[in-house]
Amino acid sequence: MNLGTSRHRKVSLVLSDGIASGRYRLGESLPGEEALAKMFQVSRVTIRRALADLDAAGLIERKHGLGTFVKKKPDPRDASPMNRLVSQIAQAGKLAVEVVDFEYCVPPESVRQLLKLKAGEEAQRVVRVRRNKHRPIMHLTTYVPATIGRTYSRKDLGRIPLYQLLARAGKVYSKAQEAVGACLADPVIAPLLEVDVGAALLFVQRILSTEDDEPVEYLELRASPDAYMLTRSWDSGVEPVVLHGSFDHYTNGL
């Protein structure tokens, strides 16, 4: 997942996958910073940040004057799709956030069924925009069962990522279903993302559940393709969590 300025994260993930797959073997040196910068078409500063991530994870060892060497392979559990999804959500949580709308309402029927709510039961609906220092990156609409949503406030959402607020309420998710497609920016969303009305957007729908299959969050993410890129990477020997699904597309007046 590329969040505009965080290209180094994408580089570190690709290099980590290279180490896990054996492309870069234990004890062998990685290409130099200049070679990596040309390979990924990024700056050397980005490469240094990516290498710092790998160093912090204990995967590489940098020897002054000699180069960068592979120290160990990633733990397969850390490379699992669900852990990566959680890591990406945490990364997105570092972006500045504006809470555009916050309310309790009876959700659309498709969302009610995904959250396993009773007929007429309310959910917390929140619209947020996350941005870096240059531009908006993503438009997020989330629905959370009201019983969970009432454990935190609108003010909390302006300073604490939602996944942390859910964890604080004892609702740690460990399962996900996801559908990825495209949509067009409507007159409400377009100005929030600073794009033209009718511009093509990446459209992600995701339902997140606890280990006990209790749905705790339904999310819709919209983002301009030139600001946000969604990536998935499976490692051999790791049983992937299902990250696909079929959800009804709807706008709910957004």
109 shares a domain with 58: no
3-class DSSP assignment, residue 81: helix
First-to-last CA distance in the chain? 25
Q: Between these two residues, 111 and 41, which has the higher pLDDT value?
A: 111
- Which of 70, 92, 118 finishes a domain? 70
Of residues 151 and 21, more confidently modeled: 151
Same domain, 136 and 206: yes
In a domain, 50, yes or no: yes
* CATH classification of the domain holding 16: 1.10.10.10
Letter string b/e over residues 170-205, b meaning 16 or more CB atoms within 10 A of that residue's CB: ebebebbbbbeeeeebeeebbebbebeeebebbbbb
Whether residue 24 is found in the same domain as residue 96: no
User: Residues near 213 by Cβ (< 8 Å), separated by ≥ 6?
Assistant: 175
Query: 29-37: long-range contacts at Cβ-Cβ below 8 A with a sequence spacing of 24 or more?
Result: 29/66, 29/67, 29/68, 29/69, 29/70, 30/60, 30/67, 30/68, 30/69, 30/70, 32/67, 36/11
Place of tokens 């390979």: 39
Taking alpha carbons only, the member of 183, 83, 178, 192 closest to residue 130 is 192
Q: Is 75 among the domain residues?
A: no
Query: Residue 32 CA to chain centroid, in angstroms?
Result: 29
Number of domains in the chain: 2
End of a domain among 24, 39, 70? 70
Please give the residue that has the higher pLDDT: either 21 or 40: 40
Q: 80 versus 66: which is more confidently predicted?
A: 66
Distance CA 90, CA 92 (A): 5
Q: Kindly state whether residues 91 and 30 are assigned to the same domain.
A: no
Question: pLDDT tens for residues 235-245?
Answer: 444 444 333 33
What pairs with residue 143 in β-bridges? 125, 218
> 88 and 62 in one domain?
no
For residue 89, pLDDT beyond 70 = no
Indicate the pTM of the whole model.
Answer: 0.64
Integer Cα distance of 77 and 27 in angstroms: 22
Element (H, E) at 225: none
Question: Which range of residues forms the domain containing residue 108?
Answer: 81-223
Give the H/E segment covering residue 124. Answer: strand 123-131
Residues 203 and 95 in one domain: yes
DSSP symbols for 156-181: HHTTS-HHHHHHHTT--EEEEEEEEE
Residues 205, 125 share a domain: yes
In this predicted structure, what is the pLDDT of residue 87?
Answer: 59
15 and 34 within one domain: yes
Do both 195 and 94 map to the same domain?
A: yes
Same domain, 91 and 171: yes
Residues 16 and 121 in one domain: no
Which helix (DSSP H) or strand (DSSP E) does residue 140 occupy?
A: strand 136-145
